[in-house]
A and B are shown apart, each in its own frame.
Chain A
């Protein structure tokens, strides 16, 4: 890389054409598909944000800004939105973008086999008004709908149909799994799944070019030590993530820079509130203490979050008071205080609830899902033990962890949640609503937390147009969850990226790496 640059620099000094800037970066996970509607996961959507575009997109501060739509407005008494499309946009293969592609992308992305289907559950119909106007109708007023479709990417109808990829195929793969044809600033020029993906700028891109990259390459590197070595040796220009324990050393080494930020993901403890009995530990089969809100409150006071942040997160993370981080829309400033660390209070609460001598239970924890997740669980275990709550810790790889949670095999568990819509409504829908398969609510509410007022607030929050009233309701929901200690939010997971000294870029809280904001100096 270094050598390639110097050769190119010489070439340009000798009157060569444009100075070429190559950029290589490494991450832990290769996007498993190039199909933007097949898999709703951060590695896939984050990568494809460089290649495909939606009607709207998120800016450097996460705010929604126009992309393939230039403007939008509510129609039909709030029950829908009219999007005016940008004219003159071309896909990478040269075909032009219009309203038919939007309708097609809606049908494709909301299809049963598509993982992005849930984004369109409020949508009742999509109508093409003219070539550059689209109406998206919703069953109820939906003020955050434009926010919720920032990752809904537009696929060219003609291209997909010609290549037999009219629908995403996750199980068997199709043309769109391996090839991409978006409208984004970069196009995929070469792809070897699992090994490397090469991007080059899309010459016909409609936007204003901020980057100076002529060729970019992404390589997945799983071993963190290898990634750090690759960055130090200059074989790659950027790695994500930097192992937390190496961040300090790298930042001090002088050759590279460490870019820190806060991710959208809140790490929390969940406690079984539905089960009548404890399932693990010495008190297995005895009545479940976590049904009592005072016991849950005791947990929140017994966990010394500042100590976890200082020792395990090495000062890189921020404490969390609620299910979303302050960077999210709808964050409740009124409920920004988290329970203080107070062992005496925790013991008093336990005694009040009828457990003066504590009890024993099981804590389930992943060991490869969140940053230092197992270490955090070990710390939590010893902190709870100090007030008499003896946890039997069982840590396992995430591929075994979710099946355990789905099978209700836990008394307490660790969970991280990053709201896909970047709005406080999202965790209420998935984590706090009473589980209801038909209404598709509470699908990650393993704890079985249930509060009638929260359930009543959710549809009101979803359809409230007035921002102040909406925030009042979100505040109320946040307060209820704090008062009842529905979960024990602990901290917002940090983002730690490493880059070469000559790289400037923008880090976004959703951990998406946006190539068009990179410049190589």
Chain B
């Protein structure tokens, strides 16, 4: 068990290092931050001085090692754009993204499962077919388009919901939450739908096909033959057995909800880490880009590590293989 864990952790660390290296080698293609930091009346001497001050005159492996040294001490450097420590900015922006991801995840799971069950039970019903057809839109329309359409409908035409931003937030310690104010809750609706729509359709389609599979099983027929109520058959027996693969997929999708929040956050000017990253790219704010990419990869690697460890705990065959290998 221990060797397996250690090996997995080492592999994860290696992946992180490689992601960082690739990221750093790409940064010089993003552009040059100097022009954004100096005005039009700068001289060549100013450019050279700033470049040296920022360490941009050094080759990228050197910059990378410097970044790693700082990161190991929890210091991600200072944002070129804001002149503040990157870690402070990330902590400030994280709650917005996490709350958005949580709400859209919740929306995707509840509505997704609900509609999935409905379309499976009423397989040939008119409504079910409608939902299945409309759900194709959810899969095929790009996120930014859905966002803009929702804004025009609900903010501009109907005037019900705000067109951008997070509304008023309440600070609880360092965490800023939009859950406690009316404007904060209203502001959450459109971005969560935009962000969660794809996941929702995915879950719905997954639940539907799993459910159809389960409903054909013998024990469902026996349950029906026993005279159990339809509701009890569908939800207590069928749905429960459907959820195992759904939970696996949903868990893995959690990471992508956070990572794909970039587009939704840009459309809704949502003050999270995704918007921060987009702004950082436009400004060539290398410390922010580096920290964000590292955080996202830590998250993905972490999720995968946990999944692997869970498999190890659940699946006895893995343990047998380990012993056999010795």
Which residues in A have some Cβ–Cβ distance to B below 8 Å? 32-33, 38-41, 112, 115-119, 169-174, 177-178, 192-195, 219-223, 225-226, 229-230, 232-235, 368, 397-400, 402-403, 418, 420, 430, 437, 440, 443-444
A-binding segment of B97-105, B124-132, B161-169 = B161-169
Q: Please name all residues of chain B whose beta carbon is closer than 8 Å to the beta carbon of A232 when the two chains form the complex.
A: 156, 163
Q: Is A226 a contact partner of B43 (Cβ separation < 8 A)?
A: no
- The proximity string for B residues 73-93 relative to A, scoring 1 for CB distances below 8 Å and 0 otherwise, is 000001011111000010010
Chain B neighbourhood of A112, CB < 8 A: 49
Say yes or no: B40 contacts A397, CB within 8 Å: no
Known: A171-B78, A222-B279, A443-B41; 11 extra A-B contacts, CB below 8 A, are A112-B49, A192-B271, A194-B81, A195-B271, A221-B164, A222-B278, A225-B148, A226-B269, A235-B164, A235-B165, A440-B43
**Residues on the B chain within 8 Å of A420, using CB:** 39-41
CA distance A119 to B42 in the complex (A): 10
Contact status of A41 and B84, CB under 8 A, knowing A171-B53, A233-B159: no
Stretch at the interface among B30-38, B61-69, B250-258: B30-38
A189 vs B83: C-alpha distance in the bound complex, in angstroms?
19
Q: Is the CB of A177 within 8 A of B84?
A: yes
Q: Which residues of A contact B40 (CB under 8 A)?
A: 40-41, 418, 420, 430, 444
Are A115 and B38 in contact (CB-based, < 8 A)? yes
B90 to chain A, nearest CB (A): 12
List of A residues within 8 angstroms of B84 by Cβ: 173, 177-178, 193
Residue of A nearest to B165 (CB): A219
Which single member of B43, B89, B283, B284 contacts A437 (CB below 8 Å)? Answer: B43
When the two chains form their complex, are residues A222 and B266 in contact, meaning their CB atoms are under 8 A apart? Answer: yes
Q: Which residues of A contact B37 (CB under 8 A)?
A: 39, 170
Which of A32, A398, A437 contacts B81 (CB under 8 A)?
Answer: A32
Decide if B31 touches A229 in the complex (CB within 8 Å): no
Whether A403 pairs with B31 at a CB distance below 8 angstroms is: yes
Give the total of B residues in contact with A, Cβ under 8 Å: 52
Most buried by B among A117, A169, A194: A194
A296 to B276, CA, bound (A): 44
Instruction: Please report B residues at the A interface, Cβ cutoff 8 Å.
Output: 29-46, 49-50, 53-54, 78, 80-84, 89, 92, 148, 151-152, 155-156, 159, 162-165, 266-269, 271, 275-276, 278-279, 282-284
Bound form: Cα–Cα A444–B35 in Å? 12
In the bound assembly, the distance between CA atoms of A32 and B54 in angstroms comes to: 17
For B50, list chain A residues within 8 Å (CB): 170-171
Which residue from A39, A177, A226 sits with its C-beta under 8 Å from B39? A39
- Asked if B83 contacts A32 (CB within 8 A), the reply is yes
- Is A222 touching B269 in the complex (CB atoms < 8 A)? yes
Q: Residue B163 contacts which of A117, A177, A229, A443 (CB distance < 8 angstroms)?
A: A229
B290 CB to closest chain A CB (Å) equals 16
Indicate if the CB atoms of A177 and B83 lie closer than 8 Å. Answer: yes
- A230 and B41 in contact, given A194-B279, A399-B284 (Cβ under 8 angstroms): no
Q: How many angstroms from the CA of A235 to the CA of B81 in the assembled complex?
A: 27
Which residues of chain B are near A171, meaning CB under 8 Å?
50, 53-54, 78, 80, 83
Cα separation A221 to B163 with both chains bound (whole Å): 11
A368 to B36, alpha carbons, bound, how many Å? 13
Question: Shortest beta-carbon distance, B282 to chain A, in Å?
Answer: 7
B267 with A172: CB separation less than 8 A: no
Q: Report whether A229 and B43 are in contact in the complex, using a CB–CB cutoff of 8 Å.
A: no
Which residue from A169, A195, A399, A444 sits with its C-beta under 8 Å from B83? A169
- Partner of A233 from B29, B30, B155 at Cβ < 8 Å: B155
Q: Is the CB of A41 within 8 A of B39?
A: yes
Give the distance to chain A from B2, nearest Cβ to Cβ, in Å: 44
Q: How far is the CB of B52 from chain A (nearest CB, A)?
A: 11
Q: Does the CB pair B267–A223 fall under 8 Å? A: yes
Q: How far is the CA of A178 from the CA of B88 in the complex (A)?
A: 13
Shortest Cβ distance from B57 into chain A, in angstroms? 13
Contact (A230, B163) CB under 8 Å given A39-B39, A177-B84, A444-B40 = yes
Which residue of A38, A115, A177, A430 has the most chain B CB atoms within 10 A of its CB atom? A115
**Which are the 8 A-B pairs with shortest beta-carbon distances?**
A173-B83, A399-B31, A40-B39, A118-B41, A402-B35, A233-B155, A177-B83, A403-B32
Contacts of B46 in A (CB 8 A): 115, 117
The one of A169, A221, A402 that contacts B269, using a Cβ cutoff of 8 Å: A221
- B43 nearest CB neighbor, chain A only: A440
Return chain B residues, CB-CB under 8 Å to A399: 30-33, 35-36, 282-284
B41 in contact with A119 (CB, 8 Å) = yes
Measured in the bound complex, the distance between the Cα atoms of B163 and A360 in whole Å is: 48
Looking at A172, A229, A418, the one whose CB has the most chain B CB atoms below 10 A away is A229
Nearest CB to that of A195 among chain B residues? B271
Q: Is the CB of A443 within 8 A of B42?
A: yes
**A-B pairs with beta carbons under 8 Å apart, 26 shown:** A39-B39, A112-B49, A118-B41, A169-B83, A171-B53, A171-B78, A173-B82, A193-B82, A193-B84, A222-B269, A223-B266, A226-B164, A226-B268, A229-B152, A230-B163, A232-B163, A233-B163, A235-B165, A399-B30, A399-B33, A402-B34, A403-B31, A403-B35, A420-B39, A430-B40, A444-B40
**Contact partners of A116 in chain B: CB under 8 A:** 39
CA distance A170 to B163 in the complex (A): 34
Q: How far is the CB of B166 from chain A (nearest CB, A)?
A: 9
**A233 contacts B35, CB within 8 Å?**
no
Smallest CB-CB separation from A44: which chain B residue? B39
B36 CB, min distance to chain A CBs, angstroms: 7
Bound-state CA distance A226–B165 (Å) is 10
Is the CB–CB distance between B164 and A230 below 8 Å? yes
A172-B78, A399-B30 known; A115-B267 Cβ under 8 A? no
> What residue in chain A is nearest B45 (Cβ atoms)?
A437
- Residues from chain B with a CB closer than 8 A to the CB of A219 are 164-165, 269
Contact B32 A233 (CB under 8 A): no
